Structure 1
Amino acid sequence: MAEKTVLITGATGNLGRAVADVFLLEGARLALVASHRENLDRIYDGLSADHLRLAADLGDAKAAAGLVAEAERFFGRIDAVCALAGAFEMGGAVHEAAPALLDRMMKANVSTMTNVVRAAVPGMIDRRAGKIVTVGANAAQKGVAGMGAYTASKSTVMRLTEAMAGELRGRGINVNCVLPSTIDTPENRAAMPSVDPGKWVKPAELAAVIAFLCSDGASAMHGALVPVVGLS
């Protein structure tokens, strides 16, 4: 990935930081995207001027388009998009959950991805080259009681990934999706203290798979839903 440009959404999260670390080691140029600039400045303090830090509400299509345009002006092109931004909420029974829950999950997990992709794909089509990696969820391969809104949103990401792969595979663009199980983060350890985190997937392990899907080695992969589940 040396000298290639990678746009990473959700860059201040545990997974986003791990993915950024992999690409920095590989010599990529990074457009690091998050909701709050102060978090980007804190986490990536000291990062060279070869990279770009951008803050925006990716649930807003206009803001996402402006952010992508700024990255394209700065770097000249975007070679890969890692659409990592997302959120998780339990919700109780579907018939009891507030309508706003589904709206939040769809905005956080679907709109943040589609708004960025909508803005980035035209440039990839012009160059007949590009990689897009999305994040579904292993649990969302079927509906799960108490997680209806979350699994519905992640299932939507998976179906849209497959659709985009079919639409773009003849234009030099690869679109694939990772399906992690529980990720070993401090937040998940605090939320589930009785569960063995040794069985969870580590951010660095998931980041390595994402980096591979952005590489030339994955050029024959289109619409793959890749389980990354550790020992869980």
Structure 2
Amino acid sequence: MLPRIAVVTGAFGILGEAVCAALLANGDRVARVDYAQPRAALAGCVDFGGVDLADVDCANQTIDAIVETMGPPDILINVAGGFTWETLADSTMESWSRMFSMNAMTCLNMTKAALPQLRNRPNARIINIGSMSATSAAAGMATYAASKTAVHKITEALAAELADTSCTVNAVLPNVIDTPTNRADMPDADFSKFVQPAAIADLILFLASPASRGISGALIPVSRGGTE
């Protein structure tokens, strides 16, 4: 059987790197897409750096380039996104626009661009990164949580729209992810409770597999540290 082709956005970040590593270990080929530039080439990957997925034309051009270079994708994993903490009173229209661009529009644009390919592939998979904080937003989380809620609803609606195909659509909802940035921003937190990127990647790998064929439209929380 030919290796599957997986597209991972936000591929050069901490979570993106873990997801790509899991896919490569599974024998998949990976198109790594990110706004940043890759630090180093990786066997089994084709890199697309400097890509602004908040721009619909850029998303379309990226999918076209992936199809031309690697072939039609079987899996799309929307990791790209960003975070901000701010009270509602102190928030600005600029920060609201930035969060929706980074979280909701990157997911929407890349999904729409890849959809004509994916809906015709057998057992295609779309997996989005949502957030547990969007299920019940705490103080200072309104801007971020609202943008991630949009990702959740895109997931649910598209799963219903693709119900007559073999393409499933699901979202993974991590709690705080163990990254250097999160450790620096929350120095007094219990880091053992932070979710390990590899634990999220394991769940994504399952959702990308044939074994997940009966699951679509799910918003799956990842709340444990996952160190073991």
Same fold by TM-score greater than 0.5: yes
Q: What is aligned with 2:216? A: 222
Distance in 2, matches of 1:207 and 1:2, equals 22
Q: What is aligned with 2:85? A: 90
Q: What is aligned with 2:45? A: 51
Q: Superposition pairs for residues 145-184 of structure 1, below 5 Å?
A: 145-184=139-178
Distance in 1, matches of 2:63 and 2:205, equals 20
Q: What is aligned with 1:210? A: 204
Deviation (angstroms), 1:126: 2.6
Q: Superposition pairs for residues 188-203 of structure 1, below 5 Å?
A: 188-203=182-197
Q: What is aligned with 1:34? A: 34
Pick closer, same or farther for the CA change 1:2–1:182 going to 2, 3 Å.
farther
Question: Aligned with 1:179: secondary structure?
Answer: strand
Q: What is aligned with 1:69? A: 64
The two structures, once aligned, show a CA RMSD in angstroms of 1.5
Deviation (angstroms), 1:160: 1.0
More helix by share: 1
**Any stretches of 5+ residues in structure 1 without a counterpart?**
none
Which one of 59, 76, 80 corresponds to residue 81 of structure 1? 76
Distance in 2, matches of 1:148 and 1:169, equals 32
8 Å CA contact retained: 1:179, 1:226:
yes
Pick closer, same or farther for the CA change 1:214–1:95 going to 2, 3 Å.
same
8 Å CA contact retained: 2:35, 2:52:
yes
Pick closer, same or farther for the CA change 1:142–1:2 going to 2, 3 Å.
farther
Question: Aligned with 1:171: secondary structure?
Answer: coil
Distance in 2, matches of 1:126 and 1:80, equals 12
Q: What is aligned with 2:119? A: 125
Letter in 1 for 2:76: V
8 Å CA contact retained: 1:8, 1:84:
yes
Question: Aligned with 1:127: secondary structure?
Answer: coil
Q: What is aligned with 2:11? A: 11
The count of aligned residue pairs is 225
1:27-80 superposed Cα distances (whole Å, 9 cap, x missing partner) = 11000001122xx1x1x33x23x4210021000000011001111111221000
Letter in 2 for 1:77: P
Distance in 1, matches of 2:211 and 2:222, equals 18
Pick closer, same or farther for the CA change 1:194–1:177 going to 2, 3 Å.
same
1:102-126 superposed Cα distances (whole Å, 9 cap, x missing partner) = 1000000001011100010111223
Percent identity, aligned pairs only, is 36
Distance in 2, matches of 1:202 and 1:2, equals 30
TM-score of the pair, normalised by structure 2: 0.94
8 Å CA contact retained: 1:2, 1:26:
no
Pick closer, same or farther for the CA change 1:102–1:121 going to 2, 3 Å.
same
Distance in 1, matches of 2:105 and 2:154, equals 11
Letter in 2 for 1:131: R
Letter in 2 for 1:174: T
